[in-house]
Copies of this chain bind each other. A is one copy, B any other.
Amino acid sequence: MKNFGIVIEHIDAHSQARVGKLITPHGKVELPMFMPVGTLATVKTLSSDELVKAGSGMILANTYHLSIRPGADIVMEAGGLHKFMNYPGPILTDSGGFQVFSLADNRKIKEEGVTFKNHLNGDMLFFSPEKAIEIQEKLGADVIMSFDECIHYPAEEKYVQASVERTIRWAKRGKDAHKRNDQALFGIVQGGEYPELRQHCAEALVEIGFDGYAIGGTSIGEPKHVFFQMVADSVKHLPSDKPRYVMGVGSLDYILEAIGMGIDMFDCVLPTRIARHGALMTSVGRINIRDQKYERDFSPLDPNCDCPTCKSYTRAYLRHLYKAEETLGKRLLSLHNVHFLIKVVEGAREAIRHDRFIEYKHEVLAKFGSKKGF
């Protein structure tokens, strides 16, 4: 498609981390990037204006959820997602595949597609590769995703093999169905933990030809080393001149390690979800704002953060709001976490440009890495 592509500006001298720009119909955004998730056309508690001010690039919205509420036709009639939610930057929609396989009940998978009960009112729905494209064309995001089968982990090789073949056939059908030339379409590499299947899926998708490639079937409960093996087994078969996206990853250690492997894009509900439970990512480690010790702590949430929450409010006030179940609390905490994660990835870009990404990764993880609870 036109108006879409990546420009790689620099590759880190000591890793495969790369920095550059993603060109989209709604502007250029920096890579690598973390995309906040706006499931129902809202990143929970935050306004679109706050996202822009936090430095968000592309954001993600969920096809499955939006197809149920408010329905794709209404979003289309509004002029598409950008107008509907008043977000000026680029937007990506997933295919609904993950939700069909994680949220829906009474699922029946056939070659044609999947029938399932939706999680809200129990109505029977049908998703197929063509249907997922049709809905996403109505939603009108800049980047849309192929419909895939998200298998569970672990899964038998035989099952994964058959599933990968179907995912490839579904990807082809989706590409054939896709008509809008102002939307990039990404393929999703599946294949579970099996290197040959990852390779086969990646190569088949590249042969069909997509505007970008995602690595799917990760972050579904597999051990950490298996996650990185899956990413490694996929990324090496993907072209370097297309964007690479690992889906559903939001913890710092996973993001930074994957950036080092040449991944450009990430999304996750993690920063907003944990914020709503009072857990904050800060430059001084993980903070649980419910803790009694913050009752009289009149310092900022994160002394090194310049987000509106940290500039205007204290830990004691944020704890009070949280304990009193005041909406403003979840909102201010979400804003901080989104801001924080965006800034860490911004720091990664800067480090890549100076060939010091590995040092940066270790600095960040030493301060607030996985052992500290992210």
**CA–CA, A230 to B161, complex, Å?**
81
Q: Does A118 contact B (CB under 8 A)?
A: no
Q: Does A111 contact B (CB under 8 A)?
A: no
Q: Does A41 contact B (CB under 8 A)?
A: yes
> Which residues of chain B are near A46, meaning CB under 8 Å?
328
Q: Does A295 contact B (CB under 8 A)?
A: yes
Q: Does A173 contact B (CB under 8 A)?
A: no
Asked whether, in the complex, the Cβ of B326 is within 8 Å of the Cβ of A42, the reply is yes
* B-contacting 9-mer, from A78-86, A94-102, A252-260: A78-86
Q: Does A320 contact B (CB under 8 A)?
A: yes
Of B41, B308, B317, the residue contacting A317 (CB under 8 A) is: B41
- State the interface size on chain A (CB cutoff 8 A): 38
**CA–CA, A321 to B46, complex, Å?**
12
**CA–CA, A312 to B49, complex, Å?**
9
Task: List which A315-360 residues lie within 8 A (CB) of chain B.
Answer: 316-317, 319-321, 323-324, 326-328, 330-332
Q: Does A283 contact B (CB under 8 A)?
A: no
- Where the two chains meet, the residues of A that have a C-beta atom closer than 8 Å to any C-beta of B are 40-42, 44-49, 69-70, 74, 77-79, 84-86, 295-296, 298, 308, 312-314, 316-317, 319-321, 323-324, 326-328, 330-332
The 10 A-B pairs with the shortest beta carbon distances in the complex, nearest first, are A70-B320, A45-B327, A42-B328, A86-B312, A40-B324, A42-B326, A69-B324, A78-B298, A327-B327, A84-B317
